[in-house]
Amino acid sequence: MNPLMEQFVNEAKDILQGVSDSLMALEASPENKDLMNELFRLVHTLKGSSGIFEEFSFITKMLHKVEDIMDNVREGKIQFSTYITDAILEAMDIVSMVVDQLEESDGLFDPSFNKTAEEVTHSLSSLLENKEEYRDDSHVQESGEKEQLETYLREIAGLIPEDTKRKISEKGDFVFIAYRPEPECFYKGDDPFLLIKTVPGIVWGSVLPIESPDISQNIDIYRCMIGFDAISLASLEEVNEHLQYVSDQVKIGLFPALESCSLSAKDTASEVPKEVFEILNAQKEVLKSASGECFKGKVQAASNVISNVLMVLDREDLLGEVDKALNQVLNNNDTAPLLYLVEQIMTQTQVKKEKAEQVLSKQEPREEKEEKKKEQPVVSVPDVHSKIKTLKVDTAKVDRLMNLVAEIVVAKNSLLYLSKKAEEIYGARELSREIKNKYSTFDRIVEEMQDAVSEIRMMPVSVIFQRLPRLVRDISKKLGKKVNLRLIGEETEADKNVIESLSEPLVHLVRNSLDHGIEAPEERRQKGKPEIGNLTISAYQEADQVIIEVADDGMGIDPEDVKLKAYKKGLIDEEALERIDDQKALDLIFLPGFSTAESISEISGRGVGMDVVKNTLEKLGGSVSIETELGKGTKVKLHLPLSMAVTKVMIIESANQTFGVPMDTIVESVRVSKDSIKKIKHQDAALLRGQIIPLYSLNKILGIPQEQISNEDGELAVLVLRIGRARVGLVVDAFKGTMDVILKPFQGVLASMSYYSGSAILGDGSVLIVLNPKEFWHVS
Amino acid sequence: MSVEVLKEQHTLKIIENAEIEDAETIFELLQKDPKLSLDLSECKHLHTSCLQVLMLMKPNIVAWPKDKGLYMWLSFLKNGKKEG
């Protein structure tokens, strides 16, 4: 993706969120003008950015229509309603999809969006058409403004060629446009010239300088320094519509051709260089001096020059007069008619300077303008020291920093090995101590560095929470349910990766709550509950975990129903149906292919629900639990690690290889005497603290054809692990202590090996394979 | 590339559309060689930024755009280069 598009994608994402937020807020308070203006601004910026790319013209067109609608709402021509919110959201969804795809596929997108966008544009148009009567006086200028424009028009009337004037008088009236683009317009993707050139019914136009910088100096050519005047014979409404997005930068007025004295010939004055007068004066001299043999030649030459001058002055209408005068001169041998004509041309033509600036200065007091100029130097460089407090950094850069810090951690650990080596192999005790000293300094700095980088990667959960109001709104509307959403603890922070992967499970949980949890208003009334259901999503920190709770006051989950359902789906057998207690029954929800909904709805219940939530959380090193009370509601709790940067692992040995086991799954490490191991059916088990723990050999699980080794006392090393709600014993060869490592997931072909969570590099440079015991036993 | 330098004719030729990216090129070329002429015969549109470069530099035009709509707007160039 090129940098420009990358910027577009990033910007669009921010804007889309802003649009969604503003719309939600607007629904709550439709009268709020500030919100509407903010919404308009956002959409306009988005439209501007999309306009930079030709391939996104369908987006630009669609957003244009959205602006139309909002413009009408702003002016009170359309009532703000949920229809409008829906229509705008629909349009934003398309932009969002395109942006997502651009990001995923590195700048490519499905051209079929074009068609979808067209459909939406069409439906937006029909929304506009079905509104109340469009009032004609929408853009009528305030009288003072119109007077100003008329004065200006009178001043520049001389620039307007005669044939244009003729066309105007044929039509009867005309629209005059004075467009002064804002200096920064290029950065918004505007092309003012294209805009003015394409005004409907344009018959005349002129470009004029607004600023006249010294060309020998450095000039910022990306600052718009020119303006435009134009005359259109289209209707005022058409012109207004064409220029509505720069309405703050244009002055438009409808003037009658007859009443307006602005176009009468006596007022003809144009911006003409001095040279024209010099040339005309010279011709006067030539004509005066013409006599004898050269008379004809001189007169003809002078008349040619006069004709050329007239062409330059856009007064082709007078060319006939020149020919007429020339004939008279040649016939009568008297230059008077030509001399008279030259005089006439000269009196009608005066040099008038800085016309355009005068108009501007009339629009705003001069002092104010100068002040503004002082504030905005030609090349505007933001005051770096005072303004920039936050930086937008590509996450890839932060990730790289993170990786580098991880490598330093590993490099740092090698110092310890070195000091050991110095003492044990080379017998240099002093040196060894010195290395250790250096190591501790190093260690402190690295630790701080690690904290600092982790902090950068921390993001507030609000990033994912902010999508929820829209989601809840849409779903509850579709289901005909009334829901009050409460978000608590949005400022709670967690690692970027945690936050990112949390989005999908959270959306799923919200859908579940709305679809299966909260009842329809009717049903709630019958149960004596308030009609509006409550959905509370809260986030908070607990020790080194982030907890996210999704709680509703709906119908709750009936464990009996769950059991029955699981049995019918063949997920549990008849025996289990009898045996399983309520809490375990609830856990069945997390089995793949389970769905309690009677019918598969559009919202949720596709049978790919809670198991996905569970898997996602486990991959993140977290867990999920459910609390429910029949008829009162359900609370789903997500437990997540605060940061995924550092993983604490226990190093174990099995079949002469070292492995890491994540500490969060380990309950305890014990030695179990071989004699105390009993066989229950074919399964080894041991009694530990009054509980029967099934024992599994790591070698067997990993397919290593070797028995686990016991120590001299005939005891086996057993790691008691917490897998779901059950405890299991993993038999290994030896324990080697714990360590903080930077765990890197496997990539490529290795990534599919679910028994391993990844690898880490140890201080001595060796690679540690970290196991993922949760995957060893799927259903406990 | 929509901007072409015809060395022999000592002319800068703009073909089809001059985009915002071309503004700097045109500006630099005209700054380096103010006597460079401009051939707009095949030009269909000038981005505002390019247009203002022409307004600033007032180059000599050897061929006007065939596009009537564009031609109308370029009258400010008809008076040719100003002294100084």
Q: What is the pLDDT of residues A290-305, one digit of tens each?
A: 777 778 888 888 888 8
Closest residue on chain A to B51 (Cα) = A193
pLDDT, tens only, A472-493: 888 888 888 888 999 998 888 8
pLDDT value for A133: 36
| Complex ipTM more than 0.90, yes or no | yes
Shortest alpha-carbon distance between residue A190 and chain B (Å): 9
Q: How far is CA A327 from the centre of its chain?
A: 73
Quick check: B55 and A226 CB within 8 A?
yes
Quick check: B70 and A197 CB within 8 A?
yes
Q: Is the dihedral of CA A230, A233, A236, A242 positive or negative?
A: negative
Shortest alpha-carbon distance between residue A225 and chain B (Å): 7
Q: Is the pLDDT of residue A268 over 70?
A: no
Alpha helices in A52-131 (DSSP H): 57-74, 82-104, 113-129
Rounded Cα–Cα distance for residues A555 and A524 (Å): 9
> Which of residues A381 and A46 earns the better pLDDT score?
A46
Per residue of chain B (84 residues), what is the pLDDT tens digit? 467 777 777 888 888 888 888 888 888 888 888 888 888 888 888 899 988 888 888 888 888 888 888 888 887 777 654 433
Quick check: B51 and A209 CB within 8 A?
no
pLDDT, tens only, A272-326: 667 777 888 888 888 888 777 778 888 888 888 888 787 777 777 777 788 888 8
Quick check: A191 and B20 CB within 8 A?
yes
User: Edge-to-edge strand order for the sheet containing A533-542?
Assistant: A483-488, A533-542, A545-552, A633-641, A623-629
Decide: A694 and A729 in contact? Cβ < 8 Å: yes
Quick check: A197 and B46 CB within 8 A?
no
B45 touches chain A (CB under 8 A): yes
Rounded to 10 degrees, the C-alpha dihedral A351/A353/A355/A361 comes to: -150
Helix (H, G, I), strand (E, B) or coil at A644: coil
Q: Look at A225-229, A491-495, A589-593 and tell me which has the smallest mean pLDDT.
A: A589-593
pLDDT value for A2: 77
* Best mutation target, A160, A182, A188, A197, to test chain B (most B CBs within 10 A): A197
Rounded Cα–Cα distance for residues A534 and A486 (Å): 8
Alpha helices in A201-318 (DSSP H): 236-242, 274-289, 295-312
Query: Which positions in chain A touch B46 (Cβ < 8 Å)?
Result: 193
* Best mutation target, A195, A204, A226, A349, to test chain B (most B CBs within 10 A): A226
Query: Which positions in chain A touch B61 (Cβ < 8 Å)?
Result: none
Element (H, E) at A736: strand A734-741
* Best mutation target, B17, B19, B20, B48, to test chain A (most A CBs within 10 A): B48
Quick check: B51 and A226 CB within 8 A?
yes
pLDDT value for A730: 93
C-alpha atoms less than 13 angstroms from C-alpha of A551 in its C-beta half-sphere: 16
Quick check: B79 and A273 CB within 8 A?
yes
Q: What is the pTM of this model?
A: 0.45
> Side chain identity at A356, as an amino acid letter?
A
B48 touches chain A (CB under 8 A): yes
Closest residue on chain A to B17 (Cα) = A194
Alpha helices in A540-679 (DSSP H): 559-568, 574-579, 582-587, 610-619
Terminal Cα distance for chain A, rounded: 47
pLDDT value for A259: 46
Supply A699's token pair: 């070698």
> Which of residues A662 and A108 earns the better pLDDT score?
A662
Residues 6+ apart with CB under 8 A from A430: none
Quick check: A186 and B69 CB within 8 A?
no
pLDDT value for A535: 92
What's the mean pLDDT when you consider all of chain A? Answer: 80
pLDDT value for A733: 93
Q: Number of helices (H) and strands (E) in chain B: give both, helices first.
A: 3, 6
Of the candidates A192, A213, A215, the beta carbon closest to that of B48 is on A192
Provide mean pLDDT across the span A765-774: 87
Q: Is the pLDDT of residue A369 over 60?
A: no
Supply A636's token pair: 């789903």
pLDDT value for A307: 81
Measured between alpha carbons, how far is residue A533 from residues A401, A482, A539, A554, A774 in Å?
Answer: 46, 6, 20, 7, 37
pLDDT, tens only, A686-742: 988 888 999 999 999 999 998 888 888 889 999 999 887 788 999 999 998 887 777
Rounded Cα–Cα distance for residues A3 and A106 (Å): 11
pLDDT-based confidence at residue A143 (cuts at 50, 70, 90): low
